[in-house]
Structure 1
Amino acid sequence: MTDIMTLHEAPNWQLYRLGQLFDERKEKVSDKDYPPLSVTMNGIVPQLETAAKSDDGDNRKLVKVGDYVINSRSDRKGSGGISSHDGSVSLISIVIKPKGVHPRFAHHLLRSTAFQEEFYRWGHGIVADLWTTRYPDMKNIRLYLPDLDTQKAIADFLDRETARIDQLIEKKQRFLTVLDQKWAATVTSTVTNGLGSDVRLKDSDLSSVGKVPEHWTVARLGHIGRCANGINIGGDAFGSGTPFVSYGDVYKNAELPTEVSGLVQATSEDRSRYSVKKGDVFFTRTSETVEEIGFSSVCTQDMEDAVFAGFLIRFRPFKKKLVPQFSKYLFRNQALRSFFSKEMMIVTRASLSQGLLQKLPVLLPPLKEQEEIASYLHHVEAKHLSISDKTQESINGLKEFRSALITAAVTGQIDVTSWGKQGQTDRRLDQIEEDMALREARACQ
């Protein structure tokens, strides 16, 4: 089997095994003495207060400034970096100390796509997405390295060039944030105030909403439908059987997909008890943070024989209470999100109970008005998604170029001393922007 990191042999670069360039740091510490750090796709950062806290805070790995930390699990591929902080990480992470390699070069090298793929290739496990790579295997990875002066030159080059690319990405991501904020505000305003500007208003008695149209009804969720938790079943029941609506299906989609990828062996009683019908609204029930609790997804057509996960709550409205397409927007509006944030208490893992969900205040326009609001928001959403998707395509192009540039530099495929002088980055960035502008122009025709 060919080593990914040795496919290209640059002139005057020497072949090493990773264990010759790094020492493993295995010292155990407590997060009381060394603050917890998170190993993310963006590097090593202080752990957020809202992150799930381990019950084993006294059994963590020490991290010192300059150490490289990488998550050993394949489902976190790409999470790692040189730490700028002293602290501690979970035992699932590998901590290594550079000893024969420039730290900033090591940062780019070990975060390169080529290295991540090679690291993953050395993993072990039952299924590929749950593989784990241990340091005894990692240290045998072979790679070419230049001398320290060249390493520094490459690190300087990548620091400079990736910063330029990151600025463009950040600019576009800020634009996406503004777009999303504008869309979220439109949804909240429309589902709480309606489409008319001259309707008479009344006090809703809800601090997060204020006044609402006089002819609308304000009700608790538990008064307009029934709630039920999903199926809890052993892991060996998955992989075949009937459709299974997962946590991810709900969290990622305001409207439930007509086809889901999950399958589970469910009895006829299960299929009846945990059925998925048109008009059902599913809410995420558990998560590591409050921010991910209570996300909703509406079912717009019956899903034959399907059941739903135990990490979800199904709300089934009484007849003639809610139009499904209106539910899609109603239950994802900011006022309801603030209700969950305010009412929930978090310990080690946030959990939404049926009791709390049933207290959720809901604004109900007449059914015909619900249809009109849903139609209007669907039209606005289509425009929003068109602009958002094009911007995301441009961001993806920049990220791909960034990744390719790093891999090419740390494996000696490009001469960094001549690259900048030739204006290669400028031309590539200009090309990405021109391609994006051309696609946008065609889309508007």
Structure 2
Amino acid sequence: MRFPAYPKYRDSGVQWLGRVPGHWEVKRLKFSATINDDALPETTDPDFEFSYVDIGSVSPGEGITSTEPMIFENAPSRARRKVAPGDSIVSTVRTYLRAIAPIPEIFDPLVVSTGFAVIRPRKVSSAFLAYALRESYFVESIVARSTGVSYPAVNASEIGDIAIPLPSEDEQTTIADFLDRETGRIDTLVAKKRRLIALLKEKRTALISRTVTRGLPDAAAREFGLQPHTRFKSSGIEWLDEVPAAWEARKVWIERVSRNIELQDGNHGELHPKAEDYVSEGIPFVMANHIVDGKVDFDRCNYIDKQQADSLRIGFSLRGDVLLTHKGTIGRVGLVQESDFPYVMLTPQVTYYRCLREIQNVFLFWFMQSDFWQDQLRLLAGLGSTRAYIGLLDQKKLSFLIPNELEQSAIVTYLDRETAKIDRLVKKVEAAIARLQEYRTALITAAVSGKIDVREAVV
């Protein structure tokens, strides 16, 4: 939909804002709102209960995505800024995250990190201001004023000095109503597409699970020159039904498997590299969150000096190893891909599984993504501990299903091909979501900066 421009414009006097409608004002934010009005004093009742919002709990497009219940006595020292409905919060640290969100109607007391500036409207519509603070020119102005490389930050007073365009109160309401309606439509479309992605991912997991526990579909088996499975037997495993009669079901620790697979996690205790050991180039030091989309994301990794890495005792992972996260984040699976690094070094959060014979590494990679394997992990992670952790001894209790090597190869080829089809569909839907979100941002910017006239668009 195309919207008209205003009939008359004037120069705003602000470089990043450019021209604004002739009847609009332009004022610094601090003249229309207060900043950081209210905070919890140190004398707060230790039993005071509230919901807490940190920087990581705010998404640029979705606002506040999660809260954490806590009491004052156990709260981090940064949990101090009190907010109220109608306020907006703007991140003053790690400003590149663009963590800006309005505060909705709430029932529980809500407290946010001191890493936010709390903007409370005074002479401006709260709904209009919430959009104005998410307008791209305003956001880029915050980022531009930030200092620091690894942890960029900006003073709240500097945010107050940023100019915002201000139409009349009635027009502010009109613009906010228009944006509520249009962004609501966009958000509904995005939600539908995200549900589609969730269904596609469920289909992908079901495909993997069915194939690595029941064998190839009949047509696929014949395609690879194999006979479809017609005879099945009890798996001998409580939560798994029948499996192909020719397959073996074995635990990791059984001799037959243990001589075919080597597994090891990273260094513990004093030998564990620390943050001060990180260097700009060297050997990748792989943590759980560095395993992304089935491989190691070297761009996310920290690095340690090769001389230090060579001096360590364990945790040397090679190309082709299958990686499994077993602490904190449980069950993430990846393959160590081809790279220029002689090896990667693992943290204690990650175990490598190295296939030595009879079991193919890519088959194991797919097998570990099945519901059968992931259910075992969830069961073990829930035994006797409040913190998700599956040590090497417990990992050796996990069960495998082992087809012959010819069938493993066929399963690998089939799953590589079929999951790639689903992955391509997911990427198309993700691209459509990105376009919708870009349009959403552009629409907000155009409306609150007066580039388009929406006064006649609100019904």
TM-score range for the pair, normalised by the shorter chain length:
0.7 to 0.9
The amino acid across from 2:211 in the alignment is: T
Matched residue of 2:440: which SS? Answer: helix
**Identical residues among aligned pairs (%):** 24
Q: Could you tell me how far apart the structure 2 residues matched to 1:156 and 1:293 are?
A: 44
Q: Where does residue 26 of structure 1 map in the other structure?
A: 38
Q: How does 1:1-400 map to 2 (within 5 A)?
A: 6-23=17-34, 24-28=36-40, 32-37=48-53, 39-41=57-59, 42-47=62-67, 55-56=74-75, 59-74=79-94, 76-85=97-106, 86-127=109-150, 130-195=151-216, 198-222=229-253, 223=258, 224-229=261-266, 232-247=272-287, 250-256=290-296, 263-267=303-307, 269-270=310-311, 273-287=314-328, 292-301=329-338, 304-310=341-347, 312-345=349-382, 350-400=388-438
Query: Which blocks of at least 5 consecutive residues in structure 1 are unaligned?
Result: 422-445
Please show how residues 388-427 of structure 1 align to structure 2 within 5 Å. 388-418=426-456
Distance 1:105 1:248, change over 3 A: farther
SS of 1:80 mapped into structure 2? strand
Instruction: Say which is worse superposed, 182-191 or 15-24, in terms of deviation.
Output: 15-24
Where 1:293 maps in the other structure, the secondary structure is strand
CA-CA distance at 1:395 after TM superposition: 1.6
Residue 6 of structure 2 corresponds to which residue in structure 1? none
Equivalent residue number for residue 439 of structure 1: none
Q: Conserved in 2, the CA contact under 8 Å of 1:277 and 1:303?
A: no
Contact 2:285–2:346 (8 Å) recurs in 1: yes
Q: Distance in 2 between matches of 1:408 and 1:183?
A: 40
> Residue 105 and residue 17 in structure 1: after superposition, are their counterparts in 2 closer, same or farther (change >3 A)?
same
Counterpart residue identity of residue 51, structure 2: P
Name whichever structure is richer in helix by fraction: 1
2:173 maps to amino acid: K
1:68 and 1:300, CA in 2 relative to 1: closer, same or farther beyond 3 A? closer
1:131 partner amino acid: P
Tell me by how many angstroms 1:353 deviates: 3.0
Q: Is the Cα–Cα contact under 8 Å of residues 85 and 104 in structure 2 kept in the other structure?
A: yes
Matches of 2:214 and 2:105, distance apart in 1? 48
Quick check: which has more Rg, 1 or 2?
2
1:424 matched residue in structure 2:
none
| CA contact 1:282–1:296 (8 Å) conserved in 2 | yes
Aligned length in residues: 412
Shift in alpha-carbon separation, 1:258–1:48, aligned structure 2, 3 A: closer
SS in 2 for 1:226: strand
Residue 286 of structure 1 and its aligned partner are, at CA, apart by 4.1
In 2, the alpha carbon distance for the partners of 1:97 and 1:252 equals: 39
Query: How far, CA to CA, are the matches of 1:100 and 1:31 in structure 2?
Result: 36
- CA shift at 1:393, angstroms? 1.7
CA distance in 1, matches of 2:206, 2:417: 15
Deviations 1:198-241 (A, max 9, x none): 34323334344332223322233354422221573243443433
Q: CA deviation at 1:64?
A: 1.9
Judged with a 3 Å threshold, the aligned counterparts in structure 2 of structure 1 residues 286 and 413 are, in CA distance, closer, same or farther, namely: farther
- Please say if residues 281 and 299 of structure 1, whose CA atoms lie closer than 8 Å, have aligned partners that are also in contact: yes
Q: Work out the CA distance in 1 between the residues paired with 2:14 and 2:324.
A: 45
Give the superposition deviation at 1:115: 2.2
Q: Unpaired segments of 5 or more residues in structure 2?
A: 1-12, 219-227
SS in 1 for 2:212: helix
What SS does structure 2 have at the residue aligned with 1:233?
coil
SS of the residue 2:208 aligns to: helix
- SS of structure 1 residue aligned to 2:49: coil
Q: Deviation digits for residues 43-93 of structure 1, max 9, x if unmatched?
A: 2355268x9x99525843322222212333325323422332242223333
Distance 1:60 1:341, change over 3 A: farther
Deviation (angstroms), 1:414: 0.9
Query: Once the 2 structures are TM-superposed, how far is the Cα of residue 348 of structure 1 from its aligned partner?
Result: 8.6
Give the drift of 1:153.
0.7
1:183 is paired with a residue of what secondary structure? helix
Go from structure 1 to structure 2 and tell me whether the alpha carbon gap of 1:316 and 1:44 turns closer, same or farther (over 3 Å shift): closer
1:314 Cα deviation from its structure 2 partner: 2.9
Q: 1:306 to 1:279 in 2, by over 3 A?
A: closer
Structure 2 counterpart SS, 1:36: strand
Structure 1 partner of 2:8: none
Q: Determine the C-alpha separation between the residues in 2 that align with 1:362 and 1:48.
A: 38
Distance 1:201 1:396, change over 3 A: same
TM-score (norm 2): 0.79
TM-score, normalised relative to structure 1? 0.81
Q: Secondary structure of the residue that 2:85 maps to in structure 1?
A: coil
Cα distance between partner residues in 1 of 2:290 and 2:235: 29
Please say if residues 325 and 374 of structure 1, whose CA atoms lie closer than 8 Å, have aligned partners that are also in contact.
yes
CA distance in 2, matches of 1:4, 1:339: 59
1:262-298 per-position Cα deviation (integer Å, ceiling 9, x unaligned): 54312162488443323312223444xxxx3220101
Alpha carbons of 1:343 and 1:117: their partners in 2 closer, same or farther (altered >3 Å)? farther
User: SS at 1:412's partner residue?
Assistant: coil
Q: Which amino acid aligns with 2:114?
A: L
